[in-house]
């Protein structure tokens, strides 16, 4: 089975330092939905691993979070794509959970759901916490330059040799070509 793990905010959709709090605020990054469809059409299953501390902070509720994701899924369906599973952490840093990235709990849950090891599984993120969580779970971290990507690329904690792509579309094309 071919699997790819994506962060949501800053990779699939435009991010905001003030959080994405409603379906109206949820806007795809140009080309990201088509990139997911390309991955699907080339045999990849797509899982999302996303921190959503806005839930824990009371900035939005589960119904609103579900509505944002429903919008994403509907827009994906319209371009021939799908997300096979979405895993999220609703906690804040203060909660001390195991699922909030940079911890690898979401990645372990994905591995369990798909009955697979994550060694070499591409994991695409824009923030250092995405890259660190992927690496600690044994996945293959990939950085995109959307969202927090430009800041992350300058972060001294970014492992040397981490592949960097302009956006999810470029990363997806690379993964598809690499798989051939």
Catalytic residues: 7, 9
DSSP bridge pairs for 2:
44
CA distances from 73 to 23, 28, 69, 101, 113 (A): 12, 11, 6, 23, 19
Those residues whose C-beta lies under 8 Å from the C-beta of residue 17, and which sit 6 or more positions away, are: none
Phi-psi group of 92: left, alpha or beta (phi > 0 → left; psi -120 to 50 → alpha; rest → beta) = beta
- Angstrom distance (rounded) from CA 169 to CA 167: 5
Q: How many other C-beta atoms are found inside a 10 Å radius of the C-beta of residue 94?
A: 9
Q: Are 149 and 139 in contact (CB under 8 A)?
A: no
């Amino acid at each position: 089975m071919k699997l790819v793990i994506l962060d949501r905010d800053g990779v699939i959709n435009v991010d905001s330092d003030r959080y994405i709090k409603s379906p109206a605020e949820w806007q795809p990054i140009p080309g990201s939905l088509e990139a997911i469809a390309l991955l699907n059409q080339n045999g990849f299953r797509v899982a999302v691993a996303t921190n959503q501390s806005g839930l824990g902070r009371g900035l939005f509720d589960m119904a609103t979070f579900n509505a944002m994701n429903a919008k994403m899924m509907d827009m994906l369906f319209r371009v021939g794509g799908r997300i096979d599973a979405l895993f999220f952490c609703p906690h804040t840093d203060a909660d001390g959970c195991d699922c909030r990235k940079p911890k690898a709990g979401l990645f372990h849950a994905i591995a369990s759901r798909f009955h697979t090891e994550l060694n070499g599984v591409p994991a695409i993120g824009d923030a250092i916490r995405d890259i660190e969580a992927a690496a600690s779970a044994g996945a293959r971290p990939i950085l995109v330059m959307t969202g927090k990507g430009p800041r992350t690329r300058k972060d001294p904690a970014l492992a040397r040799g981490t592949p960097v792509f302009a956006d999810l579309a470029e990363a997806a094309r690379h993964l598809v070509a690499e798989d051939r």
